[in-house]
Amino acid sequence: MNASLVLERFNKSLALLLLTALLIVMLFPFAIVTINAFKTPAEYASNGPLSLPGGLYTDGLRDFWDRVDFTNKLINSTVISVSVAVAGIGLSLLNAFALGIGRVRGRVWFLIFFLMANTLPQEALAYPLYYFAKSLGLYNTRLSVIIVFSVIQSAFGTYLLTSVFSTFPREILEAARIDGCNKVQLLLRIVTPISRPTLSVLFVFFFIWTWNEFFLPMILLVSTSNQTVPLAIAVLQGQHNMDATTSSASALLGILPCVIFFLLFQRTLTKGITAGSVK
């Protein structure tokens, strides 16, 4: 057998082995949380966190669900995350169209501004955003979080889409203009459909990033009825003593919706990453 072929097979096998090991390491914490979520407190105390549960104990899940009114928190997180994903994509699309397609003056400085906005820590935004929400009467409302994170996420989306639109074939744009397309039609009928794979990737990212946010929602949402899932879990663990199994149940319920969303849009995400900006 050819030595180069043997070496190629060995490299593929080694790469597969390393990826499998990496997958096990990444899934191990999630598996431990899932196992402990279905244990009784007595099983956890006697056998430790690595043992398998003797049965399907769901009292911890039900207890946590009822104590935090998890249905309400789930609705809040879903409404906020979907709204931010849609609004963030809309803002990113309009900004990137002006910078990447329209080639406005000073586009480089605008891109530098959006790039710097991506690196700005949320701690630096807490004080002005608090008084911004207070002055507009939006404090302790879901709308305040939606507005803030739509703008924050659109900074990254604008930078990414502008880099895509700057390489957009000018021939397609000129042909559309000759056919009578104005700027709005050019955006809606030409640029947006072709950029759909990239927009789908941004939608998934914006949703997951917003779902996992904790710091700014903690400042802007103080009432229990408006809290999101991560905030409700942290507040409950800080106010009440919970056993290890209930804590594992809370962690499982907190991450499970995000995992389900990712699995549902996995094919869309894969196509968006592998597809080119022009078909």
Residue with tokens 């997951």: 208
pLDDT score, position 275: 56
At residue 17, what are phi and psi to the nearest 5 degrees? Answer: -65, -45
The token duo for 263 is: 């699995």
pLDDT tens-digit readout, 252-265: 888 888 888 888 87
- pTM of the entire predicted model: 0.86
Per domain, the residue ranges of the chain are: 3-59, 69-239
pLDDT score, position 241: 60
pLDDT score, position 274: 57
pLDDT score, position 137: 92
- In words, the CATH class of domain 69-239 is mainly alpha
Q: How far is CA 160 from CA 33, 37, 89, 92, 202, in A?
A: 35, 39, 11, 9, 9
Rounded-to-integer distance, Cα 123 and Cα 140, Å = 18
Q: How far is CA 144 from CA 3, 134, 137, 138, in A?
A: 63, 10, 9, 5
pLDDT score, position 269: 67
Rounded-to-integer distance, Cα 117 and Cα 138, Å = 23
Q: What is the mean pLDDT of each run of 10 residues along the chain (279 residues)?
A: 75 90 90 89 84 84 87 94 96 90 78 82 88 92 95 91 83 83 86 87 92 92 90 69 77 86 76 53
Residue with tokens 């802007």: 220
pLDDT tens-digit readout, 27-53: 898 889 889 888 888 888 888 888 888
| CA angle, 69 then 32 then 36, to 5° | 55
pLDDT score, position 146: 96
pLDDT score, position 131: 92
pLDDT score, position 249: 85
